[in-house]
Amino acid sequence: MQIKNKIRSIALLFGALFLLLPARAAAEVNVKEIVFEHLGDSYMWHITEWNGHEVGIPLPIIVRSHEGGWHVFLSSRLEHGAEYQGFYIASEGNHAGKIVERNAAGEEVRPSIDISITKNVLALFISCTILLLVILPVARWYRDGRMTPPRGFRGAVEMLVMNIQDEVIKPCVGTQYQRFSPYLLTVFFFILINNVLGLVPFFPGGANITGNIAVTFLLALCTFIATNFNGTKEYWKETLWPEVPLWLKLPAPIMPVLEIFGIFTKPFALMIRLFANITAGHAVILGLICVIFITASMGAAINTGMTIVAVAFSIFMSFLELLVAFIQAYVFTLLSAVFIGMAVEKHTTES
């Protein structure tokens, strides 16, 4: 009962807080800006502020302007709205936060190509390096053909690899699992490492990679390619001419259209699921942290109380996110394996 009462009072406190929010907070702390700044990408890896100076890692900007010609320079040149070689970071409009230039007509446009090493790109490189540094030494350890099981960290990696392979890939993909297991394992560990690094609040973690639609898009695209470029005749027959009553196929091809639509919705769901889960988790934690700063102006008592609540909740959320980090990597791998399995495996339903 006591715990229940406590929870209720905390919930009430929270409710009251959210009622107060719009009136007071907007002036001092722009929560939306903070959250979106974190969830999105940036040209500089902001770490902290020190004595009014921004401390961060300047990152290389690589752009190709509309007039042609590549421009490579450090993002520190563009700090505080400065302009360099005709490029600057837009502060408003469609391209807010992005590098823009002015075209001949004087309009603000994005450079024709922008492959700058942004915060997310650098974080991606770091996580890829970590992934390679985790897996390759473990794999090298096996080269000598030793027959004793590994211990410690290698044992943990082996356990995870074999668990995913035996419990997810093998049953879902079927007989041809060995062809797809490297891809699926890479996907699993890639997502897992990026998810976990995203939970680390400081450099080199903190970037929101798996909560970025470009990243999940590419992962889903890979699954899409693996599924449809390896589909058997049977798979395409099931898709284009499924075994349903004829009137569902002729004269209006309702089922085939649905099936073809399904080909695209499956990976699309993969893309959105991962993106949304990770983004939501980050947003919740950030929102909870922001509560501390919002309530700073409400007096010491409320601020202290809310700080305790917010920290407690973000600890809880961080644990939850740790779980989600694993679950989402697992789910992405599992569903990819299921889709691939549906495409490459001979169905046994007829027999």
Partner 1 sequence: MSLLIPDTGLLFWMTLSFLIVLGILTKFGFPIITKAVQKRSEYIADSMETARLAEEKIAALQKEGDAILAKAQEERNALLNEAQEIRNRMIAEARGAAEAEARAVAEKARADIEESKRKALSEIRGQVADLSVRIASKVVRERLADEGAQKHLIDRLLDDEINYPS
User: Could you tell me the smallest distance in angstroms from the CB atom of residue 180 to partner 1?
Assistant: 10
Q: How many residues bind partner 1 (CB under 8 A)?
A: 51
182 near partner 1, rule: CB under 8 A: yes
338 near partner 1, rule: CB under 8 A: no
Residue 157 or 306: which CB sits closer to partner 1? 157
Residue 40 or 86: which CB sits closer to partner 1? 40
183 near partner 1, rule: CB under 8 A: yes
Residue 75 or 239: which CB sits closer to partner 1? 75
**Pairing mode, if any, of strands 99-102 and 88-89?**
antiparallel
| 102: β partners | 108
Please classify residue 135 by burial: count the beta carbons closer than 10 Å to its beta carbon, then call 0-12 exposed, 13-18 middle and 19+ buried: middle
303 near partner 1, rule: CB under 8 A: no
Say how far apart CA 188 and CA 180 lie, in whole Å: 12
Taking alpha carbons only, the member of 324, 343, 17, 294 closest to residue 199 is 324
Q: Which residue has the tokens 């970037």?
A: 207
Cβ-proximal residues to 109 (8 Å cutoff; 6+ apart), any chain:
66, 100, 101, 102, 103
Among 162, 200, 244, 257, binds partner 1 (CB under 8 A): 162
User: Could you tell me the smallest distance in angstroms from the CB atom of residue 151 to partner 1?
Assistant: 14
User: Could you tell me the smallest distance in angstroms from the CB atom of residue 337 to partner 1?
Assistant: 14
Residue 37 or 345: which CB sits closer to partner 1? 37
72: enclosing H helix or E strand? strand 70-74
Window of 6-14, 156-164, 238-246, 322-330 that interacts with partner 1 by CB under 8 A: 156-164
> What is the number of other CB atoms lying within 10 angstroms of the CB of residue 277?
21
Say how far apart CA 219 and CA 127 lie, in whole Å: 15
186 near partner 1, rule: CB under 8 A: yes
Taking alpha carbons only, the member of 204, 202, 201, 192 closest to residue 126 is 204
- Secondary structure of residue 175 in the 3-state scheme: coil
Among 21, 37, 40, 345, binds partner 1 (CB under 8 A): 40
User: Could you tell me the smallest distance in angstroms from the CB atom of residue 348 to partner 1?
Assistant: 25
268 near partner 1, rule: CB under 8 A: no
User: Could you tell me the smallest distance in angstroms from the CB atom of residue 194 to partner 1?
Assistant: 10
- Give, rounded to a whole angstrom, the gap between the first and last alpha carbons of the chain: 58
Cβ-proximal residues to 231 (8 Å cutoff; 6+ apart), any chain:
239, 343, 344
| 62: β partners | 72
Q: Is 245 left (phi over 0), alpha (psi -120 to 50) or beta?
A: beta
User: Could you tell me the smallest distance in angstroms from the CB atom of residue 157 to partner 1?
Assistant: 8
Query: Among residue numbers 110 through 149, which ones bind partner 1 (CB under 8 A)?
Result: 113-118, 120-121, 124-125, 128, 131-132, 135-136, 138-140, 142-143, 145, 147, 149
Among 41, 196, 224, 336, binds partner 1 (CB under 8 A): 41
User: Could you tell me the smallest distance in angstroms from the CB atom of residue 124 to partner 1?
Assistant: 6
Query: Is the separation of the CB atoms in 60 and 43 below 8 Å?
Result: no
227 near partner 1, rule: CB under 8 A: no
- Please report the sign of the dihedral spanned by the C-alpha atoms of residue 30, residue 36, residue 38, residue 40: negative
| 99: β partners | 89
Window of 22-30, 52-60, 206-214, 252-260 that interacts with partner 1 by CB under 8 A: 206-214
**Footprint on this chain of partner 1 (rule: CB under 8 A):** 36, 39-41, 96-97, 113-118, 120-121, 124-125, 128, 131-132, 135-136, 138-140, 142-143, 145, 147, 149, 157-158, 161-162, 165, 178, 181-183, 185-186, 189-190, 212-215, 217-219, 222, 279
